[in-house]
Structures are given as C-alpha cells and as structure tokens.
Structure 1
Amino acid sequence: MTNDDTYKNHLNMVNQQIQSITRKLRVTSGEFWFLGSFLINFIVGKTIHLTSTDEEVYNYYNDKNNIFNQLFVKKGWFWTTILLVAFYGILLSKNHPKIQNKFQFIQKSVLKYIIATGWWILFTQWCFGLPIMDKIFIYTGGKCTNIHPSKVKPHLVSLLSKSVTDELQDIYESKIISSSVCRSLRGHWVGGHDPSGHVFLLIHSSVYLFFEISQFWPGWSVLISDIKKLSHDIKFGRFTLHHYILKNPSILVIWLIGLWWFMLLMTNIYFHSILEKLVGLLFGYAILGLYLVPRF
C-alpha cells in the first residue's frame, strides 16, 4: 500500500466518524464544522499562549479597554439585535421566497429572540438576584474585595435592610454584589471559579445568529460571484456598497461573526483559566437546544 493510499484510508475513516457524529446530533456538515470551530479556537489560543514569549503575548488586545472589546464584545447583544433586525427587515421587504407567511415568520423569530435574550440575561445580567455566572463564582468561594465601605454601602441598601447596613461600617469585601458592580467600585473579583462571560457571549451570539441566517444562506459561490460583480461595478461607478448589502444581508452577519471569532481567540490567548473558558463555552452552546431539540 502506498503512502497516498494510507492517507486516503485515514481520511475516509475520519469522514466516516464525522458523518456518524452529524447523524447522531442531527446537524449538517456545515453546522458541525461551525460549532467545532470554537473548540479549534480554544486549542489554537491556548497553544499560542503556551508557545509565545511575554513580548509576543501581551499587546493591544491584552488591554480590556481596546476598542474592539469595548465596542463589539461588551455590547455584543446590542449588535446581535441590530444586525438581526436589519437582516430580517431586508428579507421581509424583498418578499424572500422562503418566507411564505410573514406573520408566522415574525412570530417565530420574535419568540426565538426572546428565548435567546432571556438566556443571555439569566447568565450575565440577572437570575433572581446575581446572574448565573456570578452565582457560580460566589458558590465556589469567590467574593469582591478591596472596596471602600463608603462606595459599597449605597449598593447594599437595595439588597439588605437598613438595620443590617448600619452594621457594615468596616466592610471591605462582599459576596452579595455582582461582578459588574464590583468592577464599577474598582474592587477585585477573587477566590472562586469565574466562568468566562466573554466566551459565553461570543459563542452564544455567534451560534444564535448562525442558525437564524443559515436557512437563508445563498452559498459561498453566490457571494463570491456577487463580490466580483460588486468590484467590477464600483470600478466603473455603477454600483455602491449599500446595494450589495441589500442584496446580500448575510455578509454583515458573517463579518460580525468573523470579528467575534477573532475576539474569542484573543480571550483564549490572554484571559481566564482553561476550566473557566470551557464552562463559558458549554453555557454558550446551551442555545443549541433551541434549534437541535426540535429535530429529534
């Protein structure tokens, strides 16, 4: 047997395993590779971190105040909402052939958005008190430290009775304020297992957008062909970019998911422990239940 035959046999074995997994999970090959790309991202990010020197690892993207993190990551759900509304607005205005009943389509889309938003809120914002990610941190021994009592007390008034807050004159740490409040008080979130909110948000938003637009995906060949036409028309002053976007609204979502994949890589290189990122990843994957459960 030649080396080429051995290579082909191994490749066929891998393809057979992938096909078996996709059948069991009821996903397409495209969905499989998209979802698997986040695990690849994790492995690549960790490899870069372990094999790089400090000078190579620590740069602009290691600064949490970089513009991409502040504008596109922390406000990720805002951009998710804006792009989804724009995407569906364009499809509805064009009477897309795959949308047979506009009212029913809008009803289903709004319901899925409410569920996706609700899960984002529960994990990162509020879950009958602290959000899920902060509850995990507190329950595993975490707390907010190095906060001055004059700063923390106003936040505790809404959480505790006045008789209790009067006894907090010397408090410098707390287990009942959220991570966002802790940051606003310039405290330190230490001591527990801190699931990565960045990893959760980037994966949650990307998976949600991917499955929402995939049913309308025209295919790479169509997009590449249209890009060539766009370049030709712009060259001769006959076409503008907004016309292309109106014709191919998927390109905006692809751009945003691509940016998020890159920012996820930066998070995997610079921030959190392996376990904290994996927990964020698993909670981010939870949105898959909205799309895969109905297939069984």
Structure 2
Amino acid sequence: MATRRTTRVEVPIPPTPNGNTSDKPQPPMLADTPLVANSPFLPTTLETALIAIYPGTLLLGSLISALNPASRNATYLPHTQAYAVSEAPSYFAKKSNFFNVYFVKIGWVWTTLAFFLFVASHSSLGPPLRLKLTKRRLQATARYVVVTAVWIAVTQWFFGPPIIDRSFRWTGGKCDVMFDDTRSARAGRADMSDMEKAFTHAACKSIGGQWAGGHDISGHVFLLILGSAMLWLEFLPAVLRMDGLREARRIRTADGLVRSAAIETREHPGNMEVPEKLGYGVQGALFVAGMSWWMLLMTAAYFHTWFEKFTGLLVAFTAIYTVYFLPRAVPAWRQVVGMPGV
C-alpha cells in the first residue's frame, strides 16, 4: 500500500523593528495602509502645490508693483512700509481702505469665527450644531489654541513686547522721537520711559515717534498666511475625497514604521461621511480664506519691502509646519493635536 508523503514548509518569522525575531503574533497589515518609503516630515504633492500659492502670491504682488507705472512713480515711505497717501497707486495701497481696517486689522477675529463655525457644523468632526465634545473637535480646538498662541506671541505679547517688536530692536531698530521748534528733544524723550524706548512700537507711535533702523517682520503677511493656511488645511481634507489630501499623507506610527494616514482613520472611524452640500461652516471658511488671499496679494503689491514680506512668510510657515505637518512624524504630538480629515 502506498504511503502519502507530506512536505513540511518552514516559514521564517519576520524580524521586529529592532532586528529581533519574536514568536508573538504580529498584527495583520491592512491592505489599504501599506508601508511607504516617503518621509512623514514632508507634505504630499497636492499639499505642496497648495502651500506654494503663498510665495507665488508674494511674487505676483511684487510683479504687479514693478510693472505698474503708478507704483514706480509714487513715493514709498520706509518708516510706514507704505506709499505716501497723496500718491497711493491704488485704493488698496491706502492703509485706510475699508478691507484693511475692517478685515485685516481684526483678521484673527474673522479667522476664529470661520474656524469654529466649521468645527461646530461639519459632520466629519461630530454631530452638526450639537454641543458634543468628540475627539476630532477637541484635537481641532487644540490645533487652534497652538496657532493662536503663536499669533499672540508674534504680534501681541511675548512675555512683554511681541516677537515682531523684539526682532526690530534686535536688528538695530530704535524709536526716533519727532519734535519741532516749540518742543525740545529732551521734552520729547521725557514722554517715554526707558522700557518704552527700548521695546514697544505702540508706545513710540503714541508720542509721535517712528521705528527706524531695524528689520520689521510684515505682520500683515504673517497674519494672512497663518489664518488662511490653517483654514485650508482644516476643511479641505474633511471635505474633499482626494488622496493627496488624505490617505497619501505619511505618518510614523508608534512602532517606528512609516505608513499611510489611512490607518488613523481605521483606528478612529467615527463619522467621516462627506455631506453633499458644503454647509455654512465650509462656506464661511472659504470666504475668509479667499479674502485673506486677496488682501495678501494687495499687501505684496503695495506694502513692505520684499525681505519684510519674506520673513512674515517664513514665520507663518514655521507655525503651520509645527501644527499640521510635524505631528505626522511625531506620534506623541499627533496624539495631542491630531490630523484634519482622519
């Protein structure tokens, strides 16, 4: 009688991330969350294109200024970072224009309203218009708090004067007191304390002085980029089913491996259905982000020097990267602020 021969196949146990083998069962690899080689520190191609709009806008504004005969013939006043009012080449070149006074000057108010209207009304973060603290809403709020803290530190207060004022002083700037024949220089200087002379732009302006000699980071460029980029990066991944904004993002997981961001969605599924209509929250965010882009273009064309605008862009990008891109590579930070759209 013939006997049946069996073949025994040895399957090697794959090594663990630290190089050792283990008899413990390994979790199954999800088919739609593969290991990827790209760095989690870098944005996707689509995100890169979105971010590139900002330096492109600054370049476009500079080109408009260079090609506009009215701009070339107008007198630019470095101490005000603007053209002389009587020679302003455009309505938007005047600091008193309606959009500058009622939108840019209080820009963070508009950004805050748009942000929380989106968070409260979009179903991807929780039940619309219901006071339910979901994990996604809490993490979105954490992102807002961090970005707002950066805005305060740069433009409002940083253990005293804000970073913009401090950087002006660090680069050799000072407050020049202006006086006429009926007012002596000594009397003018007496109106300021030593602390005010050393640090605050507001105090210098209040006594009729002006900043001179230092580098002034463009607060307008910083504010407009910071607020609009935050809004874009919040609502686009939640609204658009685009791989370049969602699953194509790379993250480093707790085991040290780099995977698609889709694994985060599987671990915290919740309600990620995209509504058929945009809704008031998305529409409000679109309006504020669109207005911010237009005023950024006007700022690029008519206010500040190129280097002042560049440093405003750089500071804004640093904050955006810390909140929206760095968490992908740092799991502990991702647990705090999360990721939009997952």
Q: Same fold (TM over 0.5)?
A: yes
Alignment correspondent of 1:179: 201
Q: Which residue of 287, 309, 316 corresponds with 1:255?
A: 287
1:190-231 per-residue CA deviation (whole Å, 9 max, x = no partner) reads 1111110111111111111122222322469xxxxxxxxxxx
Alignment of 1:10-49 (within 5 A): 25-49=41-65
Q: Is the 8 A contact 1:141 1:191 kept in 2?
A: yes
**Separation (CA, whole Å) in 1 of partners of 2:144 and 2:187:** 40
Q: Is the 8 A contact 2:125 2:136 kept in 1?
A: no
Do residues 107 (structure 1) and 138 (structure 2) align?
A: yes
Do residues 278 (structure 1) and 310 (structure 2) align?
A: yes
Alignment correspondent of 2:11: none
Do residues 156 (structure 1) and 193 (structure 2) align?
A: yes
Secondary structure at the residue paired with 2:304? coil
1:93-137 per-residue CA deviation (whole Å, 9 max, x = no partner) reads 99459xxx8432232122212111110011111112221111111
**Deviation for aligned residue 1:272:** 1.3
State percent identity of aligned pairs: 33
**Separation (CA, whole Å) in 1 of partners of 2:306 and 2:55:** 12
Secondary structure at the residue paired with 1:195? coil
Higher Cα radius of gyration: 2
Return closer, same or farther for 1:114/1:55 CA change in 2, 3 Å cut-off.
Answer: closer
Alignment of 1:1-296 (within 5 A): 25-54=41-70, 58-91=89-122, 95=126, 102-147=133-178, 156=193, 159=195, 175-218=197-240, 247-287=279-319, 288-296=321-329
Secondary structure at the residue paired with 1:133? helix
For the aligned residue pairs, the C-alpha RMSD in angstroms reads 3.1
Return closer, same or farther for 1:68/1:290 CA change in 2, 3 Å cut-off.
Answer: same
TM-score under structure 2 normalisation?
0.61
Q: Is the 8 A contact 1:92 1:102 kept in 2?
A: no
Q: Which AA in structure 1 matches 2:306? A: I
**Deviation for aligned residue 1:175:** 3.5
**Separation (CA, whole Å) in 2 of partners of 1:151 and 1:253:** 46
Deviating more after overlay: 206-215 vs 257-266: 206-215
Q: Is the 8 A contact 1:204 1:285 kept in 2?
A: yes
**Separation (CA, whole Å) in 2 of partners of 1:175 and 1:155:** 6
Q: Which AA in structure 1 matches 2:287? A: W
Secondary structure at the residue paired with 2:211? strand
Secondary structure at the residue paired with 1:144? strand
**Separation (CA, whole Å) in 2 of partners of 1:92 and 1:150:** 62
Number of residue pairs aligned between Structure 1 and Structure 2: 235
**Deviation for aligned residue 1:142:** 0.9
Return closer, same or farther for 1:93/1:279 CA change in 2, 3 Å cut-off.
Answer: closer
Q: Is the 8 A contact 1:245 1:251 kept in 2?
A: no
Q: Which has the higher helix share?
A: 1
TM-score under structure 1 normalisation?
0.70
Q: Is the 8 A contact 1:64 1:70 kept in 2?
A: yes
Q: Which AA in structure 2 matches 1:54? A: A
Gaps of 5+ in 2: 1-37, 73-87, 180-185, 243-275, 330-342
Q: Which AA in structure 1 matches 2:62? A: K
